[in-house]
Amino acid sequence: MSRQVTLQPSGHQFTANEGETILDAAMRAGYNLPYSCRNGACGSCKGNVLEGTVDYGNHSANALSETDKAAGKALFCCAVPQGDVTLEVREVAGAKDIVARTLPCRVQSIDKPADDVAVLSLKLPTNERLQFMAGQYIDILMKDGKRRSFSLANAPHDDEFLQLHIRHVAGGSFSDYVFNGMKEREIMRFNGPHGSFFLREDSDKPMILLASGTGFAPIKGIVEHMLHEQCDRPVVFYWGARRPKDLYMFELAASWQTLHPNFSFIPVVSDALPEDQWQGRTGFVHQAVLDDFADLSGYQVYACGAPIVVEAAHNAFTRERGLPEDEFFSDAFFLSKDMKPNG
């Protein structure tokens, strides 16, 4: 038995099949809702249930608390409507016309700019290109049926190869394979693009870009897209890492300051050793933003990296610096076998 789902304030309507999540039904109908992890862990798809009831599904208590439920909120990536429902949600404009596809690809090259970071360049079949928005991700389809999600580090105009940045995670089956077994010219399959983490080009607000570790990957795609489109919005990019060597494309990020008239790059290192001779900013990357900005009410923020970093940034920026909730865009990486591993 199908359920009718109504989205407000747009008034868009679609049906959800028995047992189908709201997010899956919306995507099937061509409506793109905000999401990232798709497994109830990150909170990107949280919205309000105005009318009707839902089965909340399996989710992290950090992403959806009992207080959230009492306030009428749900995670649409795991919530299943129990009847007709009306929801309040901010729809993502611009991505609903992009259809996710399953495609084969060939490993063109494997580069290692750091001991624990691999950059994969993937070649699609002749005459194939992937349409995507800068910052989105793809799912690598593994032979055991599992998926591993990685952000696209290249901009849409630079689509001869798809570039992925993969951090070596101890015990991670895919990253272990990338570092110890993968060979050039191997064939893999992927599905995508996915995600609502992309540049909102209908805004002229100044931007704060924040990344930790390989969260740099989608930020790279977004910045290179902005450069290609000659977008002159003011941008300040904060890249956080434990040690300087973890800023594995430092020179590239620094070069953007010479290519964009309103671009600033601020690297932040939390655990530098004496031998690093680090002279730059230190501490937590989100704290560097707080130190530099007393008021974020007129900004957009794009944050990507470890969940603890993204969550800390979201809480501090919205509660302490006046950033509007709907101007914080995030993509969190989950370092486990069953969640989004890294960028």
Lowest mean pLDDT among 135-149, 216-230, 286-300, 327-341: 327-341
Q: pLDDT of 62-113, one tens digit each?
A: 899 999 999 999 999 999 999 999 999 988 766 666 778 899 999 999 999 9
- Would you place residue 229 in the very low, low, confident or very high pLDDT band (cuts 50, 70, 90)? confident
- Would you place residue 44 in the very low, low, confident or very high pLDDT band (cuts 50, 70, 90)? confident
Residue written as tokens 């509007």? 324
Same fold for the pair 101-194 and 207-332: no
> How wide is the angle at C-alpha 154 spanned by C-alphas 306 and 39, nearest 5°?
40
User: What pLDDT is recorded for position 93?
Assistant: 66
> How far is Cα 3 from Cα 155, in angstroms, rounded to an integer?
38
**What's the whole-model pTM score?**
0.77
Q: Is residue 241 over pLDDT 70?
A: yes
Q: Is residue 343 over pLDDT 60?
A: no
Going from N- to C-terminal start, the domains of the chain cover: 3-88, 101-194, 207-332
Helix axes 250-259, 216-228, angle to 10 degrees: 30
Q: Which CATH class name applies to 207-332? A: alpha beta
Share the mean pLDDT of the chain. Answer: 92
User: What length does the chain have?
Assistant: 343
The DSSP letter of residue 39 is: S
> How far is Cα 207 from Cα 192, in angstroms, rounded to an integer?
26
> How far is Cα 322 from Cα 8, in angstroms, rounded to an integer?
25
Query: Is domain 3-88 classified as CATH 3.10.20.30?
Result: yes
Helix axes 307-320, 285-292, angle to 10 degrees: 20
Q: Which of these CATH numbers, 1.10.10.10, 3.30.930.10, 2.40.50.140, 2.40.30.10, describes 101-194?
A: 2.40.30.10
Lowest mean pLDDT among 206-210, 242-246, 333-337: 333-337
Q: pLDDT of 111-156, one tens digit each?
A: 999 999 999 999 999 878 888 999 999 999 998 888 999 999 999 8
